[in-house]
Amino acid sequence: MDVKVLGAANEVGRSGFLVNCNGTNLLLDYGVMFGRRGTPPGYPLHVKPKDVDAIIITHAHLDHSGNVPSLFVSGNTDVYATPPTFDLSELLIEDMLKIEKNSHPFDLPELNNMMKNAKEIGFKQKVTKGNATFELRESGHVIGGSTVLVESEKKRLFYTGDIKTNGSRMLREMDLDIGEIDLLITESTYAKTEQKPRRESEKELIDFANEIIDRKGILFIPSFSVERSQEIACILRSANFKHKIIMDGMALKVNEIMFRHPEYLRDPKVFSEAIKSATAIREHSERKRAMGEPCVVISPAGMLVGGNAVYYLQQLSFDAKNGIALVSYQGEGTPGRKLLETGKVSTRGKDLNVTAEVKQFEFSGHADRNQLFEMMKKIKGNPKVLTVHGDSESCELFAQEIHEKFGFEAHAPAVDETITV
């Protein structure tokens, strides 16, 4: 079994791994890398569609799914993922194409072609292609998100994709009952970072929401539309938060997708109650009216790049009664990072000081350092380990520590490197 690294080596973005199982080629993820604003997107190394027997998408986030349609420009192949992953991938890729017109080497016809070749599979459902058998397992990262187990000629590979070992309020924990493995490809995003326990972050957010409401203000929570928006609504609902919660933007379409797949949620009842009790904003004219009383507004984009967040930011930033809770990762060069570091927002070409109270809360969909090592303790066999999907320092350090603590042969591979087991 050979694995060629196509992307996500010493970087977060453009995930892609080509697994050659004695002539049967499986492509694990094929994503996009978004550079700083104004720079073109990056892609994994090119593979010829005719050389790929099956594509497996671990989850819908664009750094894992976003470049799959490029394989349908001149050919066809089967694509495997869970039902929620297909629904969300279609939504997110369509949105990406709309926002970034003509900046990708494919368009809607290729996305439609990808969806025509979609083969939906559930967790633990074994699929055989040529010399390889593969199955998906729960990852705890996002609805429908999975890890991948590949078996061929008595060799077993486990690819984590993105993981949250203990899941979240929305999602069950990661499934690590995978038996002995020979090769592990693991994400390293937060290999250097210890996160605050989730319950602590939840309590801090609820306290902040109540403070803002008590002073008759409005709390704006810019949030990723997939998972994070819904999780925040569930946290408030579970804390018996009695005030109005507004949901806006693409999160509403994601809500609909989640309602179609309740079996992928930890507690469909809590989700259903939280979403049904929120006020959905579907027209621009409703926005101002909905904010006529103290309330919480949950809307994309999580990093304040576009989306309806821009409208809410302009409406709510300049009143000291209001609050802004940043609950998503704030990438370099984004308006969210600028707000955190300078306390300013750009509006109509001018930088203005924000008077609303701004706080950041830790809600990551990724395993932190402690959780990654908890996972490593449960790994059986004596696998080679590849540390990917992290900055170079995280990948290098994680590999070094894995070797020191567990004795496994581990390293941070480079793009275009091939590893054999």
Over residues 357-406, the pLDDT tens digits come to 999 999 999 999 999 999 999 999 999 999 999 999 999 999 999 999 99
Query: What is residue 178's predicted lDDT score, i.e. its pLDDT?
Result: 97
Determine whether domain 198-360 maps to CATH 3.40.50.10890.
Answer: yes
Q: How far apart are CA 116 and CA 101, in angstroms?
A: 23
Q: Which of 256, 311, 314 has the alpha carbon at shortest distance from 280?
A: 256
**In whole angstroms, what separates CA 310 from the centre of its chain?**
22
Q: How far apart are CA 147 and CA 162, in angstroms?
A: 8
Determine whether domain 2-193+365-420 maps to CATH 3.90.1150.10.
Answer: no
Phi-psi region at 113: left, alpha or beta (left = phi > 0; alpha = psi -120 to 50): alpha
pTM summary value: 0.96
Q: Which of 170, 127, 146 has the alpha carbon at shortest distance from 257?
A: 170
Q: How far apart are CA 143 and CA 6, in angstroms?
A: 25
Rg, the chain, Cα only? 21
Residues 6+ apart with CB under 8 A from 236: 206, 209, 245, 274, 296
Q: Judge contact between 251 and 229, C-beta under 8 A.
A: yes
Q: Judge contact between 136 and 148, C-beta under 8 A.
A: yes
Token code pair at residue 330: 């704030």
Stretches in the chain below the pLDDT threshold 50:
none
**In whole angstroms, what separates CA 74 from the centre of its chain?**
29
CB atoms within 10 A of CB 36: 9
Query: What is residue 182's predicted lDDT score, i.e. its pLDDT?
Result: 98
**In whole angstroms, what separates CA 199 from the centre of its chain?**
20
Single-letter code of the amino acid located at 103: S
CB atoms within 10 A of CB 124: 12
- Per-domain residue ranges of the chain: 2-193+365-420, 198-360
Write out the H or E segment, with its range, that includes residue 238.
helix 228-238
Strand partners, 295: 244
For residues 197, 201, 207, 211, the Cα torsion angle rounded to the nearest 10 degrees is 150
Query: What is residue 37's predicted lDDT score, i.e. its pLDDT?
Result: 67
Coil, strand or helix at 210:
helix
